Amino acid sequence: MSEMNLTLKIWRQKNAADKGKMVDYKVNSISEHMSFLEMMDVLNEQLINSGDDPVAFDHDCREGICGSCSMFINGEAHGPVKGTTTCQLHMRSFKDGDTIYIEPFRANAFPVIKDLVVNRSSFDRIQQSGGFISVNTSGNTQDANATAIPKHDADLAMDAAACIGCGACVATCKNSSAMLFVGAKISQYALLPQGQVEAKDRAQNMVAQMDAEGFGNCTNTGACEVECPKGISISNIARMNREYLSGSLK
């Protein structure tokens, strides 16, 4: 088992008001089998043992499905491996002696709370503005097969619904645009008959909220779909554009 010694350049910021700065740390004897977050755990144990403040970072399931972990690693959201969240990134992707830059997901709409933890509640507010369907859930549930849905549409809706809302699209976009996230959230309903009831207003309201949160404008660089850990396609952004334009004509 090969072990590595690393230099970490980590963004440290006490709180939202603090200016923050990059700080250098050394970690030694890191196993290549560790996940990136386990490596961060090692660093934090080291910091706690020496009486320092551990680095705050978001994490929850550590299985790549919750969307909690973030981190901008060596200039890329969730690090250098495509289709992967930070928790599923392993230290074998790095080599002994490497210097690793670790920064929070940056966008004005994602303000830093502390160190690498950012406030992504702007996504929640976009979701609340239209990312739902109004159905009665009080016990008289309709049979799942009563509404026929073409397999192709169901698959595309499922692909869009795979978005875990981690914000990598925003973090990686040179414009800090949230259009991949919003495109996915709009698409998963636009493709299904259940989503048609609110379709007229959904794209209008969600785009208005997205703009109000201060995200940038999409310029179709396609960086978001490359960095998305769930492989959400920018065809969802095109669908959002269609939904928005047709909604504005209704």
Q: How far apart are CA 122 and CA 110, in angstroms?
A: 7
CB of 18 to other proteins, least distance (A): 12
Asked if 15 is part of the footprint of other proteins (rule: CB under 8 A), the reply reads: no
Local structure of 117: helix, strand or coil? strand
Please state, in angstroms and as integers, the Cα–Cα distance from residue 164 to each residue in 13, 46, 70, 157, 231, following that order: 26, 31, 11, 14, 11
Binding pattern for the stretch 124-163 against other proteins, x by CB under 8 A and - elsewhere: ----------------------------------------
Of the candidates 230, 165, 241, the one whose C-alpha atom is nearest the C-alpha of residue 207 is 241
What is the identity of the amino acid at 149? I
Q: Any idea how long the chain is? A: 250
Number of Cβ within 10 Å of residue 250's Cβ equals 8
Nearer to other proteins, 127 or 221 (CB): 221
Of residues 204-223, which lie at the interface with other proteins (CB under 8 A)?
Answer: 204-205, 207-208, 210-212, 214-223
35: DSSP letter: B
Q: Which two tokens stand for residue 184?
A: 């996915």
Nearer to other proteins, 31 or 93 (CB): 93
CB of 146 to other proteins, least distance (A): 29
Asked if 109 is part of the footprint of other proteins (rule: CB under 8 A), the reply reads: yes
> Which residues of this chain interact with other proteins, rule CB under 8 A?
9, 11, 20, 22, 72, 74-76, 80, 101, 103, 106-109, 112, 172, 174-177, 179, 201, 204-205, 207-208, 210-212, 214-223, 226-227, 234-235, 237-242, 244-245, 248
